[in-house]
Structure 1
Amino acid sequence: MDQPVSLRERKKNQTRYLLMRTALDLFEQRGFDQVSVAEVAAASSVSKKTVFNYFACKEDLILGAGKHHIDEPAVVVRERRPGQTPHGAMREYLLTALAERQPMIGLSDSPYVRRLQKLIANTPALTARNLHYQGQSRRLLAEVLVEEGVSEVSASLIAAQILAVQEVLAATNAHRVIAGESPDAVYPDAVAATEHAFHLLERGLGDLLRRPKASVTPPGTD
């Protein structure tokens, strides 16, 4: 059974959500670069120090809700069942996330999540920080593969390919939802795209899109 959340933890969570929602309101109204952490603190009736007790940097006021996903690919691969490949485990993980309409795969119609997605997409500082976290996720996954005996170069290549699939799929789904499609409408295409992406990953590119050789006209046949 789940352990009950203590009063202290509930209050901490309430403060965290207050700071995140206040920051989102202010950043949408005035722009991310035009709002200071001190202003977010003042609007939330807390000190600037309190903000940094909850968030390591200003960007995390927006990105912090998803930081727990950074190590998930590494955990998924490390804990995969016998006989399962790393990419097979990630395929299963992403299909489950799609079925659950999780925000991390871009398939959530929560108004709050959609506001976050729009702000991130339109704010270079947030986009850059998000890329930094994606890099952390790739490094953690590569470390797991190295633990299993793969060379560092191979581990980095494998991790980059697996997580590039996740990033492209999530971005595609989020773009459609932000444009107004419902997650339920996007879901069948999202599942098909996931299956296709991991089929390519598993089989390799092979001869896909090999450019035909130019035909050569034998001399004297003009």
Structure 2
Amino acid sequence: MSGEMGLRERKKRRMYREISETAIALFLEKGFDRVSVAEVAAAAEVSKPTLFRYFPAKEDLVLHRFADHEDEAGRVVAERPAGVSPLDALHRHFLDGLERRDPVTGLNDDPRVLAFHRLLYGTPSLVARLYAYLNRSEEALAAALGGPDEIGARLAAGQIVAVQRILALENWRRIDAGASADEVRPDAVAAADRAFAQLREGLGHHL
């Protein structure tokens, strides 16, 4: 039974990825607002009802790439080694992301990543939808920090997620303006160090 469930889950994930990648290719070619859901469904060779079963909103076709990162901060905190504070674990994880040129950190100058970010940040409805994903990331992090019903954990999670978003956006803006990832990296690391130092100053007695 577990093997069947595993196969079913893999097929589901593959379908998510294939539909999303088809949609993003069309959006990059024609513009988000100029492509209908019907066009995406036809290109992906699925029906509209099937598409909406996987993606409740048109914007989710693009933002699916963020879905795997929704609980990432919470997972980093929950799985951190003994003796490592939540902020230290998140700081190290962000620095590791910069080192790997993880697109989530904004420090990536691959033309495909840049095109995706231009699509995302240049489309108001996508930016608005992105905040729903960030809210779920905050909830997962708050739960890992001490439970979603604890106001202190929720406030801390909101600040941490906001800091990571601002750092990533600044990195992307500089690269979008023409700088390379290698050129931006030293400043990106310094900014991350400064940002997490400020978080420790404000949240240290809680985290």
TM-score, reference length from structure 2: 0.84
* Structure 1 residue 55 displacement after superposition: 2.8
1:116 maps to 116
User: What is aligned with 2:143?
Assistant: 143
* 1:148-187 per-position Cα deviation (integer Å, ceiling 9, x unaligned): xx97111111111111110110101111122221111111
Match of 2:173 in 1: 175
User: CA offsets, 1:82-113, max 9 Å, x none?
Assistant: 22221111101100100000011111222222
Partner of 2:191: 193
Instruction: Determine if the alignment matches structure 1 residue 203 to structure 2 residue 201.
Output: yes
The equivalent residue for 2:3 is none
* Partner Cα separation in structure 2 for residue 16 and residue 193 of structure 1: 35
CA distance in 2 between counterparts of 1:17 and 1:133 reads 17
Letter in 2 for 1:80: R
Question: In the TM superposition, what is the alpha-carbon distance from 1:17 to its structure 2 partner?
Answer: 4.5
Tell me what 1:81 maps to: 81
Unpaired segments ≥5 residues, structure 2: 1-5
* Structure 1 residue aligned with 2:98: 98
| 1:31 counterpart = 2:28 | no
Secondary structure class of the residue paired with 2:81: coil
Unaligned regions of 5+ residues in structure 1, if any? 206-222
Alpha-carbon distance in 2 for matches of 1:17, 1:108: 21
Alpha carbons of structure 1 residues 195 and 34: separation in structure 2 relative to 1, 3 Å: same
Q: How does 1:36-75 map to 2 (within 5 A)?
A: 36-75=36-75
Percent of aligned pairs with the same residue? 45
Q: Deviations over 1:119-174 (max 9, x none)?
A: 11111110011011101111111122224xx9711111111111111011010111
Q: Which amino acid aligns with 2:33?
A: D
For residues 89 and 110 of structure 2, the distance between their equivalents in structure 1, rounded to whole angstroms, comes to 27
Report which structure shows greater RCO (CA 8 Å, sep ≥6): 2
**Equivalent residue letter for 1:174:** W
Matched to 1:146, the amino acid is G
The one-letter amino acid of 2:58's match is K
Between Structure 1 and Structure 2, which shows a larger proportion of helix residues? 2
Q: Distance in 2 between matches of 1:163 and 1:29?
A: 31
The CA deviation at 1:73 is 0.5
1:216 alignment partner in structure 2: none
**Does 2:138 correspond to 1:134?**
no
**Matches of 1:17 and 1:94 in 2, distance apart?**
25
- Deviation at 1:16? 4.4
Q: Deviations over 1:27-67 (max 9, x none)?
A: 34443233221111113333223423443321121110121
Read off the aligned partner of 2:120 and give its amino acid letter: I
With the length of structure 1 as denominator, give the TM-score of the two structures.
Answer: 0.79
